[in-house]
């Protein structure tokens, strides 16, 4: 989106190629005045006019909540009306807080089926009002979308976060990327971001490896008591899902961090307590590992997981129980008490990539684990199964076999 806000051409290298990024890139390319070229791990983005033209094509982002939220803000800067929709599950997930904030600064929009949800029509405007309030207790992406949108013009702006924002590190990640591109936002006081002078002027982005995907390899080391080295994530990275490393250390793993290398070595695991409010997507992975630990594991601060691709608290508990563990949950927490032995099971995925990958980690450590509908991983990690096969072969545990559906 930063590249699409800038006049001229921008090259993006080391890009994650997955359903979410591809749907977003192709949606951006539908705007009049935008072009997009894709290659294996790269995008070439070119904006040929200052004010883009909305497309008459309905932009369908499938399961992608991030693309939907960013497109809502991006469409506010185009001439005409843009309609955004997605899968049945995405149409259930609330976009109300972002829609309300856009309306408050003069961006007319209406939900076409159910209030607060996709499909939504965004009517582009000059957006003269640039001081906005937004609630982020459902998603920090609402504020990130507004920060990106308000970086388009070199004019003062402010964003006031109301309530207790979830996944706060992603706001810092957005702020840092904009700073690297030439636009400074300062945190004047808790919850108040102010735009400083500067225009987007970066012609190239080299994308840091995705810590969310790396987390499954950290978990594989923990589950199989082996060593994994992940390269390319800087020591000063603010990616939220690096928060998984702390509970893994407390579970018994050894971790070393260097300038752009993280190494982790697994060991016998013990249960822990972990607050994952800033990194909720790690919760299914940690809960899956808890089925291999000695003692219970309690994960808190994760209430917003109920409004993800699935109700991840409920899904995680059901699948942990399928493996033989005892699971309890509340509005914003879950607790796993492992069984003496992990049972063979076919794991249900609920159309959720993170449930599939989290529980396939257990299949690398215990035989008889299969994953129903394994293709859901294409949302964020299309090459997951090939990389898992490579891990198993490299670490000499290929006899367990990469988990798949029974028919695959």
Question: Would you put residue 170 in left (φ > 0), alpha (ψ -120 to 50) or beta?
Answer: alpha
Q: Is 281 a catalytic residue?
A: yes
Own/partner contacts of 23-30, CB < 8 Å, gap of 24 or more, are: 23/60, 23/61, 23/62, 23/64, 23/67, 24/61, 24/64, 24/66, 24/67, 24/70, 24/71, 27/59, 27/61, 27/67, 27/71, 27/84, 28/1, 28/4, 28/71, 28/74, 30/55, 30/57, 30/59
List the structure tokens of 32. 């009049």
Reduced 3-state DSSP string for 69-101: HHHHHHHCCCECEEEEECCCCHHHCCCHHHHHH
DSSP codes joined into one string, 211-231: HHHHHHHHHHHHHHT-EEEEE
Which residue among the candidates 22, 97, 281, 352 is catalytic per the annotation? 281
Q: Please choose, from the candidates 303, 313, 335, 334, the residue with its C-alpha nearest in 3D space to the C-alpha of residue 164.
A: 303
Residue 189 to residue 37: CA distance in whole angstroms: 40
Instruction: List active site positions.
Output: 281
């Amino acid at each position: 989106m930063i590249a699409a806000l800038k006049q001229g051409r921008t090259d993006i290298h080391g890009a994650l190629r997955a359903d979410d990024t591809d749907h977003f890139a192709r949606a951006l390319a539908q705007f009049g005045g935008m072009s997009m070229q894709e290659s294996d791990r790269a995008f070439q983005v070119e904006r040929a006019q200052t004010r883009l033209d909305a497309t008459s094509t309905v932009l369908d982002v499938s399961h992608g909540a991030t693309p939907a939220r960013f497109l809502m803000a991006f469409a506010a800067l185009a001439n005409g009306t843009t309609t955004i929709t997605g899968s049945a599950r995405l149409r259930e997930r609330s976009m109300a807080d972002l829609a309300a904030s856009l309306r408050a600064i003069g961006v007319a929009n209406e939900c076409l089926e159910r209030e607060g949800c996709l499909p939504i029509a965004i009517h582009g405007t000059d957006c003269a009002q640039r001081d906005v309030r937004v609630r982020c207790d459902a998603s920090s992406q609402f504020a990130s979308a507004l920060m990106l949108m308000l970086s388009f013009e070199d004019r003062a702006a402010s964003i006031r976060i109301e309530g207790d924002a979830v996944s706060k590190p992603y706001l810092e990640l957005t702020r840092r990327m904009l700073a690297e591109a030439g636009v400074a936002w300062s945190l004047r006081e808790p919850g108040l971001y102010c735009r400083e002078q500067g225009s987007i002027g970066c012609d190239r982005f080299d994308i840091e490896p995705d810590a969310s995907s790396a987390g499954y390899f950290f978990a594989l080391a923990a589950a199989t008591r082996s060593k994994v080295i992940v390269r390319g994530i800087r020591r000063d990275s603010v990616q939220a899902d690096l928060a998984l490393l702390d509970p893994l250390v407390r579970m018994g793993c050894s971790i070393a961090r260097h300038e752009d290398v993280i190494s982790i070595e697994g060991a016998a695991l013990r249960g822990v307590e972990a607050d994952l409010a800033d990194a909720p997507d790690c919760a299914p992975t940690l809960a899956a590992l808890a089925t291999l630990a000695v003692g219970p594991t309690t994960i808190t601060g994760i209430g917003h997981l109920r409004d993800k691709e699935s109700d991840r608290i409920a899904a995680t508990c059901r699948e942990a129980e399928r493996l033989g563990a005892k699971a309890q949950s509340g509005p914003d927490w879950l607790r796993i008490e492992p069984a003496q032995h992990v049972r063979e099971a076919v794991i249900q995925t609920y159309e959720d990539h993170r449930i599939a990958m989290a529980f396939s980690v257990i299949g690398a450590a215990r035989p008889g684990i299969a994953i129903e509908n394994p293709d859901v991983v294409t949302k964020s990690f299309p090459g997951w199964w090939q990389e898992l096969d490579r891990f198993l072969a490299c670490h000499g545990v290929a006899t367990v076999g990469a988990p798949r559906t029974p028919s695959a």
